[in-house]
């Protein structure tokens, strides 16, 4: 009995028919459909308990007290902490993206050493730490050979860094990135006072912001916004007036009761012209220099005011009437983009508070005395030296450090004349970047030591700039194990110091923070659980700063030059952080079109410059140059061009790299007359059509 | 030629029947075994012993405060009793040494694992007996074999959508997509 072709076909057909009566095909199809749910690239949920844990998110300069929502121990969202009296449940747009940023592709995943131009290879932590010690060892005891730049304004990490440098013989090598906290504190000294200025927005019934973008990117923005919101009760009249006098109709100005378009070059003139009108309207002050101040202010006549600001003098009269009618007026002066203003701009604005008798009053300006230090040998915060001046010295050979430690800062991107600053950094033999993200500075470092994300670390914030009373926040890790191979930079530095024979009295950053809390009389556990420590104000008097203001020199513009007003929007990132991917969705076409940044100016300025909407132009200042498209916007002050900050990134990730241009390239540094401080808030640029 | 056309040995329906029957046997007897791999749990957990110690099911399989179901307990719960070896059972030693002391969670194989696109609320089904859907584990001394589908990766016991729909239909509960797929 054989099997021929026909028989075989019958057998196969029988087999196929039989198969139809089995689960083979049907279950196979069903399983295949289910299998398609399991392709490797499909994201998987992390299942487990959903919790909300308190954290200090220092992604923004002030730091937000947030609740981090986790599932199975991994963060998936950040929300405001309603129990925190400072943020009252609010969260800034950067910290709101905190969970996404923890998994960012721009994170430095492990220690890396440079092996060629733009080339890095991962190394083990023990090798990385050994390399750091090896580079520091021969420099111990040589003054000026080790330098550090910190981008953290409020953390106790600065105490460790400065004390470590002092212990290694380079005590003068500690520098901070520019921020208004430092210039304002110097301004207070020029007014005969001491301490960091604070502003009680919550208690004021009229808030005049001269430059300071207090409802978006200046100071404790979330607390400021909450204070603003509290004056706008639903269904009732506003209980306070907010007035913004600055170069651009920004997010702050757009919600204020009044916007006065003041060019960035005319901030001091605006303040002193207002002082003149207030004095004319009867304002007097017991300060010893009132006579000199009055004489100085008298030079800023309504005509001078019109010339400097481009505004009609009637706005001054209206403003004086509003201030006189207010019971608790408050003036906040600052650069519209949070840095680069001179101390005199601050003094001119703050002197109005003195003139109105608003220093130390509820709803007025306050003075916060220096907080006790955790490490006695650390540098005093008010004496911090600025990184821009330091790198300028490196460029000219006046400073010759062999090793530069960069902590949570991005000086290669976020300093005025950024191109020159990056070049100066290139002169330093060995650069170490302690960074969470692959930023522009990390991308030129010789050794990159990845820092934890805020949810993975201990950290603290002492007196964020702008708070009205002494304030301390602290946080601890939210997750058990960092998602990247990171180490806390402070722990690394403490270990390196130990190997160099230097003991700072602590082994970990957590210990430093706990000691700081103890020195303040605060309970660390309560702080880490989302609490806040507030100290008492000690008071203090101020002069009107007439002596310092007398040296203020007006900025002169010619026909081809216009004032540059960088615009800072917190949602678009900070100096240390490129725009969070989620927030790129809110960038408008009138700000960034494709890969082109738009430069904004009013129609009169456009006409003067001979450009129209959509023209491609080149803005130059010093050696820097930026290309952009023209967008006509009547919300920009006369003789001023406005440009967004935070773009033109050359590192980071695919979401932010190569979009727009970096406005820092065309911010030019000059010496402030009378104080010698480096300033760039009143930078000017030349515009040419291309 | 004539002989070839009328092959006696291979004529008729016999080859068809043989093929048909062979396919049925292969499909119903061999295929299920081939389709599933057999796996055992990383730790031989005995529900029986724990029940004999007086533990209730809900003592370990708890609802959280927000109403979500914790499912299988984590180390945090197990280590309340087993941070160190208590008895002489080698399985306990395996758990303590490999998981409780290292902080590593036990990679339990989940018999009723549902994909991410299914939102199953144990709270909404709380009135049903656990054994309506799960096998009765109370007397179980050794965890049952885990049959894993080689293609889909799911357990053989994973409840399919038609079962959910049938129960919903029988009990007058909505079968709208959003009832389970949020």
B7 in contact with chain A, both atoms CB, cutoff 8 A: yes
Bridge partners for A472 per DSSP: A462, A533
pLDDT in tens, A175-195: 999 888 888 999 999 999 999
What is the rounded end-to-end Cα distance, in angstroms, of chain B? 69
Residues of A in contact with B18 (CB under 8 A): 11, 14
Nearest alpha-carbon partner for A582 in A59, A61, A50, A54: A59
Query: DSSP letters of A192-234?
Result: T--SEEEE-GGG-SEEEEEB--TTTTSSSHHHHHHHHHHTS-T
The pLDDT value given to residue A48: 87
CB contact under 8 A, A22 and B70: no
What is the rounded end-to-end Cα distance, in angstroms, of chain A? 93
Structural contact between residues A513 and A37, judged by C-beta atoms closer than 8 angstroms: no
The pLDDT value given to residue A319: 97
Tell me which of A14-18, A541-545, B132-136, B166-170 is least confident: B132-136
When CB atoms are compared, the residue of A8, A35, A49 closest to B151 is A35
Provide mean pLDDT across the span A524-547. Answer: 92
pLDDT in tens, A225-248: 999 999 999 999 999 999 999 999
Query: DSSP letters of B52-65?
Result: HTT--HHHHSPBPT
CB contact under 8 A, A22 and B24: yes
Q: Give the closest-approach CA distance of B88 to chain A in angstroms.
A: 32
3-state secondary structure of A596: strand
Q: In this model, does residue B7 exceed pLDDT 60?
A: no
Nearest alpha-carbon partner for A347 in A180, A475, A467: A180
Angle at A190 between CA A182 and CA A244, to 5 degrees: 65
Rounded Cα distance, B95 and B105, in Å = 10
CB contact under 8 A, B20 and A49: no
3-state secondary structure of A428: coil
Q: In this model, does residue A1 exceed pLDDT 70?
A: no
Nearest alpha-carbon partner for A247 in A600, A659, A687, A680: A600
Provide mean pLDDT across the span A282-306. Answer: 95
Q: In this model, does residue A428 exceed pLDDT 70?
A: yes
Rounded Cα distance, A362 and A200, in Å = 7
Assigned domain for B103 exists: no
Nearest alpha-carbon partner for A220 in A462, A575, A527: A462
B-interface mutation test, from A16, A20, A22, A23, most B Cβ less than 10 A away: A22
Residues 6+ apart with CB under 8 A from A431: A403, A404, A406, A425, A441, A444, A445, A446, A447
A41 in contact with chain B, both atoms CB, cutoff 8 A: no
The two beta strands, A365-368 and A196-199, are: antiparallel
CB contact under 8 A, B116 and A45: yes
Helices (H) then strands (E): counts for chain B: 9, 2
A50 in contact with chain B, both atoms CB, cutoff 8 A: yes
Largest CA distance in chain A: 129
CB contact under 8 A, A6 and B10: yes
Chain A residue closest in CA terms to B156: A31
3-state secondary structure of A363: coil
Give residue A223's pLDDT band: very low, low, confident or very high (50, 70, 90). very high
Mean pLDDT, chain A, integer: 93
Bridge partners for A119 per DSSP: A116
The two beta strands, A624-632 and A616-621, are: antiparallel
B68 in contact with chain A, both atoms CB, cutoff 8 A: yes
ipTM of the complex: 0.82
Note which residues in 504-563 of chain A have CB less than 8 A from chain B. Answer: none
Nearest alpha-carbon partner for B81 in B62, B98, B70, B95: B95
Q: Which residues of A58-84 are buried (b: 16+ CB within 10 A; e: fewer)?
A: bbbbbbbbbbbbbbebbbbbbbbbeeb
The pLDDT value given to residue B9: 52
Query: DSSP letters of A268-305?
Result: HHHHHHHHHHHHHTT-----TTHHHHHHHHHTS-HHHH
The pLDDT value given to residue A558: 63
Residues 6+ apart with CB under 8 A from A160: A375, A378, A490, A493, A494, A504, A506, A509, A512
3-state secondary structure of A8: helix
Domain count across chain B? 1
When CB atoms are compared, the residue of B19, B152, B160 closest to A10 is B19
The pLDDT value given to residue B8: 55
Give residue A289's Cα distance to chain centre: 35
Assigned domain for B86 exists: no
Q: In this model, does residue A207 exceed pLDDT 60?
A: yes
The pLDDT value given to residue A149: 97
Range of the domain at B125: 12-41+109-180
Assigned domain for B143 exists: yes
CB contact under 8 A, A18 and B149: no
Chain A residue closest in CA terms to B7: A4
Token duo for residue A307? 């010339």
Provide mean pLDDT across the span A648-676. Answer: 90
3-state secondary structure of A108: coil
Note which residues in 40-59 of chain B have CB less than 8 A from chain A. Answer: none
Residue that wins the pLDDT comparison between B139 and A662:
A662
Structural contact between residues A486 and A456, judged by C-beta atoms closer than 8 angstroms: yes
B-interface mutation test, from A6, A24, A33, A35, most B Cβ less than 10 A away: A24
Assigned domain for B57 exists: no
Nearest alpha-carbon partner for A67 in A105, A32, A25, A95: A95
Bridge partners for A79 per DSSP: A67
Angle at A342 between CA A275 and CA A280, to 5 degrees: 5
Domains of chain A from N-terminus onward: 5-38 (no CATH), 112-176+372-462+471-534 (3.40.50.740), 188-368 (3.40.228.10), 555-689 (2.40.40.20)
Q: In this model, does residue A638 exceed pLDDT 70?
A: yes
**Integer Rg of chain A from CA:** 28
CB contact under 8 A, A14 and B153: no
Query: DSSP letters of A629-687?
Result: EEEE-TTB-TTEEEEESS--BSSS-TTTBTSS--GGGG---EEPTTT--EE-TT-EEEE
The pLDDT value given to residue A183: 87
CB contact under 8 A, B19 and A44: no
Q: Give the closest-approach CA distance of B148 to chain A in angstroms.
A: 11
Assigned domain for B167 exists: yes
Structural contact between residues B121 and B110, judged by C-beta atoms closer than 8 angstroms: no
Provide mean pLDDT across the span A587-592. Answer: 94
Phi-psi region of A29 (alpha: psi -120 to 50; beta: other; left: phi over 0): alpha
Mean pLDDT, chain B, integer: 89
Q: In this model, does residue B10 exceed pLDDT 60?
A: no
Phi-psi region of A151 (alpha: psi -120 to 50; beta: other; left: phi over 0): alpha
A32 in contact with chain B, both atoms CB, cutoff 8 A: yes
CB contact under 8 A, B151 and A28: yes
Structural contact between residues A309 and A269, judged by C-beta atoms closer than 8 angstroms: yes
Give residue A670's pLDDT band: very low, low, confident or very high (50, 70, 90). confident
The pLDDT value given to residue B3: 46
Residues of B in contact with A44 (CB under 8 A): 116
CB contact under 8 A, A10 and B13: yes
Strand ranges for A323-374 from DSSP E: 329-333, 365-368
Q: In this model, does residue B2 exceed pLDDT 60?
A: no
A6 in contact with chain B, both atoms CB, cutoff 8 A: yes
Token duo for residue A639? 């003789």
When CB atoms are compared, the residue of A1, A14, A49 closest to B9 is A1
Determine what percent of chain A falls in helix, strand and coil, rounding each to the nearest 5.
35, 20, 45
Provide mean pLDDT across the span B153-157. Answer: 90
Token duo for residue A247? 């170069």
Residues 6+ apart with CB under 8 A from A1: B9, B10
Share of chain A above pLDDT 70, in %: 99
Residues of B in contact with A76 (CB under 8 A): none
3-state secondary structure of A191: coil
B65 in contact with chain A, both atoms CB, cutoff 8 A: no
When CB atoms are compared, the residue of A1, A13, A31 closest to B152 is A31
pLDDT in tens, A63-75: 999 999 999 899 9
Assigned domain for B148 exists: yes
The pLDDT value given to residue A356: 97
Largest CA distance in chain B: 85
The tokens 């490196």 sit on which residue? A394
Q: In this model, does residue A221 exceed pLDDT 90?
A: yes
Provide mean pLDDT across the span A519-540. Answer: 93
């Amino acid at each position: 009995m054989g099997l021929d072709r026909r028989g075989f076909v019958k057998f196969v057909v029988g087999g196929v028919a039989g198969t139809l009566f089995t689960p083979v095909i049907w279950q196979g199809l069903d399983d295949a459909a289910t299998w398609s749910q399991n392709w490797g690239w499909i994201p998987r949920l992390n299942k487990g308990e959903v919790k909300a844990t308190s954290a200090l998110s220092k992604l923004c300069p002030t730091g937000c007290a947030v609740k981090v929502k986790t599932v199975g121990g991994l963060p998936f969202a950040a929300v405001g902490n309603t129990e925190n009296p400072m943020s009252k449940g609010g969260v800034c747009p950067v910290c709101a993206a905190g969970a996404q940023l923890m998994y960012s592709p721009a994170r430095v995943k492990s220690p890396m050493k440079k092996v060629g131009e733009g080339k890095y290879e991962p190394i083990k932590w023990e090798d990385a730490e050994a390399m750091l010690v090896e580079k520091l060892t021969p420099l111990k005891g040589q003054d000026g050979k080790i330098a550090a730049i910190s981008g953290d304004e409020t953390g106790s990490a600065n105490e460790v860094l400065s004390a470590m440098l002092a212990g290694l013989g380079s005590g003068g090598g500690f520098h901070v990135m520019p921020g208004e906290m430092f210039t304002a504190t110097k301004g207070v000294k020029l007014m005969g006072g001491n301490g960091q200025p604070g502003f009680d927005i919550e208690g004021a019934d009229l808030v005049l912001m001269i430059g300071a973008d207090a409802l978006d990117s200046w100071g404790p923005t979330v607390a400021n916004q909450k204070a603003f919101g509290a004056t706008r009760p639903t269904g009732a009249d506003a209980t306070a007036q907010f007035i913004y006098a600055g170069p651009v109709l920004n997010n702050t100005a757009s919600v204020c009761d009044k916007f006065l378009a003041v060019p960035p070059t005319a901030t001091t003139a605006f303040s002193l012209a207002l002082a003149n009108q207030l004095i004319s309207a009867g304002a007097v002050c017991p300060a010893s220099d009132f006579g000199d101040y009055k004489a100085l202010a008298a030079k800023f006549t309504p005509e001078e005011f019109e010339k400097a600001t481009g505004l009609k003098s009637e706005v001054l009269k209206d403003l004086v009437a509003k201030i006189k009618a207010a019971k608790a007026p408050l003036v906040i002066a600052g650069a519209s983009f949070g840095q680069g203003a001179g101390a005199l701009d601050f003094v001119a604005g703050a002197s109005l508070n003195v003139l109105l008798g608003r220093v130390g009053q509820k709803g007025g300006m306050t003075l916060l005395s220096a907080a006790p230090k955790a490490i006695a040998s650390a540098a005093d915060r008010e004496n911090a030296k600025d990184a821009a001046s330091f790198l300028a010295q490196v460029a000219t050979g006046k400073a010759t450090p062999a090793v530069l430690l960069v902590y949570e800062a991005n000086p290669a991107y976020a300093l005025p004349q950024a191109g020159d600053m990056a070049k100066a950094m290139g002169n330093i033999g060995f650069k170490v970047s302690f960074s969470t993200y692959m930023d522009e500075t990390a991308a030129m470092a010789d050794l990159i030591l990845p820092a934890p994300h805020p949810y993975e670390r201990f950290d603290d914030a002492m007196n964020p700039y702008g708070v009205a009373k002494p304030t301390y926040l602290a946080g601890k890790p939210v997750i058990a194990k960092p998602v990247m191979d990171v180490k806390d930079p402070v722990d690394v530095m403490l270990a390196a110091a130990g190997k160099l024979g230097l003991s700072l009295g602590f082994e970990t950053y957590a210990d430093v923070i706990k000691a700081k809390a103890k020195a303040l009389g605060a309970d660390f556990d309560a702080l880490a659980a989302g609490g806040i420590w507030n100290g008492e104000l000690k008071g203090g008097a101020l002069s009107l700063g007439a002596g310092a203001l007398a040296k203020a020199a007006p900025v002169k513009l010619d026909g081809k030059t216009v004032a540059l007003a960088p615009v800072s929007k917190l949602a678009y990132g900070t100096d240390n952080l490129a725009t969070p991917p989620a927030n790129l969705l809110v960038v408008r076409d009138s700000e960034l079109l494709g890969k082109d940044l738009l430069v904004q100016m009013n129609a009169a300025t456009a006409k003067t410059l001979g450009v129209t909407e959509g023209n491609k132009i080149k803005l130059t200042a010093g050696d820097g140059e930026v290309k952009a498209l023209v967008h006509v916007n009547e919300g920009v002050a006369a003789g001023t061009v406005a440009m967004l900050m935070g773009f033109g990134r050359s590192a980071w990730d695919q979401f932010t790299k190569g979009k727009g241009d970096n406005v820092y390239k065309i911010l030019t540094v000059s010496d402030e007359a009378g104080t010698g401080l480096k300033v760039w808030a009143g930078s000017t640029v030349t515009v040419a059509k291309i | 030629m004539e002989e070839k056309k009328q092959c006696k040995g291979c004529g008729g329906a016999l080859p068809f029947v043989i093929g048909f029957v062979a396919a049925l046997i292969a499909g119903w007897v061999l295929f299920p075994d081939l389709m599933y791999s057999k796996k055992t749990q990383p730790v031989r957990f005995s529900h029986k012993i724990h029940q004999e110690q007086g533990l209730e099911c809900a003592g370990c399989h708890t609802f959280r405060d927000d109403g979500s179901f914790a499912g299988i307990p984590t180390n945090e719960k197990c280590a309340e009793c087993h941070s160190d070896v208590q008895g002489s059972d080698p399985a306990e030693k395996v758990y303590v040494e490999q998981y409780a002391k290292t902080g590593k969670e036990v990679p339990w194989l989940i018999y009723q694992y549902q994909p991410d696109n299914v939102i199953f609320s144990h709270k909404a089904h709380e009135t049903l007996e656990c054994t309506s859907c799960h096998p009765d584990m109370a007397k179980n001394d050794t965890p049952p074999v885990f049959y894993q589908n080689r293609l889909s990766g799911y357990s053989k016991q994973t409840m399919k959508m038609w079962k959910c729909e049938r129960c919903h239909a029988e009990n007058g509960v909505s079968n709208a997509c959003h009832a389970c797929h949020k």
